[in-house]
Amino acid sequence: MSKLVSIVRYEKPLESVRKAIDLCHGLDHLPSKAKVYIKPNIVIWNTLVKFPKWGVITTSRVIEDVVVLLKERGIDDITIGEGIVTKAKDTETPAHAFESLGYNTLNKRYGVKAINVFEREFEEVDVGDGDILRFNADILHSDFVVDIPVLKTHAQTAVTLGIKNLKGMIDIDSRKKSHGADPVKNLNYYVAKLYEPMPPMLVLLDGIYTNALGPSFDGRLKRSNILVASSDILSADLVGAKVLGIDPTEAQHLVNAAANQGRPHDLSDVEVVGETIESVASRHEHAFPYSEDGSLPLPFAKMGVQGLAYYKYDLSMCTYCAGLNVVALQAIASAWKGEPFDDIEVLTGKAMQPQGRKKTILLGKCMCDLHKDNPNIQEKIEVKGCPPAPQVLIKAMHKAGIMVDPAVFQNMDKAPGLYMKRYEGKPEYDESFYTVS
């Protein structure tokens, strides 16, 4: 039997979400009096500055519409849960996010609970072949899940949709484990398994805003007004990828998930209702551009940067080093004054190998451990930490002769606010989608 996926243009609050869910019969298998868990996508949050949320974070508009539809069906036990990427033991940032996004208003209005999964219990789950990941216990013990990611791309996995959104339900050690150096049991291997222990589910891809070069605020954010829904998570993601103009073969975790189910990944067993894929699809690039040999980000190559190899990221660089990596690149760009650097290479993630440069910067604990006794490194400059502290990276860069400005790192928590300038004076980028009035 074909898997049913609906595509609807977002036009009106509640009505559009209702149409998307009704067309795919997404709540037909909702148990009466169910304990329902809503999983949004809050990929990042900042308590200091306003930053672009469009195409980055699930809209509060769609969250409230789903809550209303659940309440109409007599559901009273509703929990919104997320595991935002923050510093260890930071409970203030998630609390600020939940308040700002209106989740506390949803609590007062509908009795909805909002939880930070890092303040809750995790349970071990064998996802196959003895591979253990620790999942939030609340979602595992719910009766029904409504998975509401943003319709967007991801630099490592090509797309981050219903399946990838569930990565926010595993603990930090499991997240780091999923970015392992094993060429087979890599990020795509683990992500493909994230939905297997889940209860029955409705997936609703929130494409009111979409994101190319995602998944964060530095992507290319676009008002797209698209909703994709299905009670089958893989089918929703396969269609979502096509809507983003990305063939599922570009997203290896989707190929893996299809293989795990014994299904094709070409949509041949999927029925699309509502709008056609072709009528709403547009290409959203996902890979940050690098030089042809992968040794420099393309903007660096165009600037004429010489004497430096900052190799293209791979699947083994986890989220926690990735954030620092972005700031490091910004700092290096500012430090470039036209004179060649001193034949330096920067290694990131868990698998990169030195290429015989004069100086090798090892960014992060994983790189330092991997190459602690490597005889092929001429001058080793270690940046220890998981993730490293900014001041450790500054010291290492200076030691290598890259005179980065410490202020770039000191102000990194406020950097997301700088991206707001791209959207000033453009009414289609509406903050009200991220509040509950």
pLDDT tens column, 205-249: 999 999 999 999 999 999 999 999 999 999 999 999 999 999 999
Domain residue extents for the chain: 3-286, 298-404
Q: What is the mean pLDDT of residues 45-57?
A: 97
Q: Report the C-alpha gap between 268 and 266 in whole angstroms.
A: 5
Residues 6 or more apart whose Cβ sits within 8 Å of residue 94: 45, 82, 84, 86, 116, 118
Token digits of residue 284: 């959203």
Torsion angle of alpha carbons 405, 410, 411, 416, nearest 10°? 100
CB 123 within 8 A of CB 183: no
| pLDDT tens per residue, range 302-327 | 999 999 999 999 999 999 899 899 99
User: What mean pLDDT value characterizes the chain?
Assistant: 96
Q: Report the C-alpha gap between 218 and 52 in whole angstroms.
A: 8
Residue 1 has a pLDDT of 60
396 vs 25, 197, 215, 400, 410, CA distance in Å? Answer: 56, 43, 28, 6, 16
CB 248 within 8 A of CB 238: yes
Cis? peptide before 40, omega within 30° of 0: no
pLDDT band at 129 (very low <50, low <70, confident <90, very high): confident
DSSP β-ladder status, 344-347 and 359-363: parallel
DSSP β-ladder status, 344-347 and 308-310: parallel
Give φ, ψ of 244 to 5 degrees: -80, 5
Token digits of residue 339: 């004179």
Q: Report the C-alpha gap between 376 and 355 in whole angstroms.
A: 8
Q: Report the C-alpha gap between 305 and 333 in whole angstroms.
A: 9
| pLDDT tens per residue, range 243-275 | 999 999 999 999 999 999 999 999 999 999 999
Residues 6 or more apart whose Cβ sits within 8 Å of residue 435: 60, 100, 101, 102
Collapse the DSSP code of 134 into the 3-class scheme (helix H, G, I; strand E, B; otherwise coil) and give the result.
Answer: strand
C-alpha atoms less than 13 angstroms from C-alpha of 117 in its C-beta half-sphere: 29
CB 242 within 8 A of CB 267: yes
| pLDDT tens per residue, range 322-354 | 989 999 999 999 999 999 999 999 999 999 999
Q: Report the C-alpha gap between 167 and 163 in whole angstroms.
A: 8
Q: What is the mean pLDDT of residues 80-98?
A: 93
Residue 25 has a pLDDT of 97
Q: What is the mean pLDDT of residues 30-57?
A: 96
CB 419 within 8 A of CB 52: yes
Q: Report the C-alpha gap between 267 and 35 in whole angstroms.
A: 32
Q: Is the pLDDT of residue 80 over 90?
A: yes
Decide which of 3.40.190.170, 3.30.360.10, 3.40.47.10, 3.40.50.11440 is the CATH code for 3-286.
Answer: 3.40.50.11440
Q: Report the C-alpha gap between 24 and 26 in whole angstroms.
A: 5
Residue 360 has a pLDDT of 98
Residue 86 has a pLDDT of 87
| pLDDT tens per residue, range 371-381 | 999 999 999 99
Token digits of residue 209: 């805003």
117 vs 45, 75, 123, 145, CA distance in Å? Answer: 15, 22, 12, 15
pLDDT band at 87 (very low <50, low <70, confident <90, very high): confident
Q: Report the C-alpha gap between 263 and 157 in whole angstroms.
A: 20
